[in-house]
Amino acid sequence: MRVLGVDPGLGRCGWAVLEGRGGRAVAAGYGTIHTDGDQVAPRLATLAARLRQVLADHRPEALAIERLFFNANVRTAMTVGQASGVVLLLAAEHGLEVSAYTPPQVKQAVTGSGSAPKEQVGYMVKALLGLAAAPTPADTADALAVALCHLNHAGLAGGVRGGRAGPTDGTGPGAGVGGALGAASTADWLARAAPTSPGLGRGPGDPRGVPRRIGSGPAGGAGR
């Protein structure tokens, strides 16, 4: 399956297309769409046009979007909602099934912790997809994480282990990083990330450098 992950926003809208191949996820393309100006309508039109081009170039079979979890800034919540409406309209036009995930669900699937800080999400996206560097801006990394979350929940990136599918809420055995890659446990993947991943500590007496915990940053999505 090829899935388009979207981190919606009016000023910055992250997008990423991933394909599940042989138990692993491969990045087909990703980036962030920027719009500016005083009038909302032209910016939404620009966003729609650029997303239509992404859809034409990559032809995804499903769409996953980050759902607004909570936001004290009413203006930001409104613009994210407007951008989300554009994304959902395009999905309907192209006959794509839509799945929505909250930021904690996405973080849980990618890092093993629903409260992981953004730098850890970016680092794990880099590690899981074999990228040369953590994707920037954060909107791009978030879109990649959303797409990874969907592949993990759909069991298309190694999420089915031992002959049966694991839970799809990102909380059961085999969820998170191990579930997304299939071949390694969550602890193994976090151990590989620990020596160079920002904000991680090493567990006492553990030569592999397994982190004591994933960071305790806020669970909300990126600023818009």
Q: What percent of the chain has pLDDT over 70?
A: 68
Does residue 97 surpass a pLDDT of 90? Answer: yes
**Four-residue CA torsion sign, 201, 204, 208, 214:** negative
Determine whether 74 is exposed, middle or buried from the number of CB atoms within 10 Å of its CB (0-12, 13-18, 19+).
exposed
pLDDT-based confidence at residue 224 (cuts at 50, 70, 90): low
The domain spans of the chain are 2-193
Span 58-64, average pLDDT? 98
pLDDT band per the 50, 70, 90 thresholds, residue 75: confident
Question: Residues, the chain, total?
Answer: 224
Count of beta carbons in the 10 Å neighbourhood of residue 145: 32
Instruction: Tell me the pLDDT band of 92, cut-offs 50, 70 and 90.
Output: very high
Res. 176: pLDDT tops 80:
no
| Range from 114-118, 206-210, 214-218 that averages highest in pLDDT | 114-118
Distance CA 82, CA 216 (A): 30
pTM confidence score: 0.72
State how far the Cα of 26 lies from the Cα of 13, in Å rounded to an integer: 21
Sequence-ordered alpha helix ranges (H) in 94-222: 103-111, 118-129, 138-154, 176-181, 186-193
Question: Does 8 sit behind a cis peptide bond, omega within 30 degrees of 0 on the bond before it?
Answer: no
Question: What is the predicted pLDDT for the residue at 70?
Answer: 67
What is the predicted pLDDT for the residue at 72?
63
pLDDT in tens, 121-159: 999 999 999 999 999 999 999 999 999 999 998 876 543
Average pLDDT of the residues in 24-48: 97
**Closest residue by Cα to residue 17 from 9, 118, 8, 26:** 26
Determine the Cα–Cα distance for residues 102 and 154; give it in Å rounded to an integer.
16
Catalytic residue annotation: 7, 66, 139
How far apart CA 123 and CA 131 sit, in angstroms, is 10
pLDDT above 80: residue 61: yes
Average pLDDT over residues 175-191: 40
Strand extents, DSSP E, the chain: 2-7, 12-21, 24-34, 62-66, 97-101, 160-161, 164-165
Distance CA 210, CA 190 (A): 6
Average of per-residue pLDDT values in the chain:
77
The rounded distance, in Å, linking the Cα atoms of 12 and 33 is 6
pLDDT at 200: 43
Q: Which of the following CATH numbers is that of domain 2-193: 3.90.226.10, 3.30.420.10, 3.10.290.10, 3.30.1490.100?
A: 3.30.420.10
Is pLDDT at 180 greater than 80 in this prediction? no
Whether the Cβ atoms of residue 5 and residue 145 lie closer than 8 Å to each other: yes
Looking at residue 21, its pLDDT comes to 84
Is 80 exceeded by the pLDDT of residue 60? yes
pLDDT computed for residue 156 by the predictor: 61
C-alpha span between 13 and 142 (Å, rounded) = 10
Closest CA to 184 of 195, 194, 174: 174
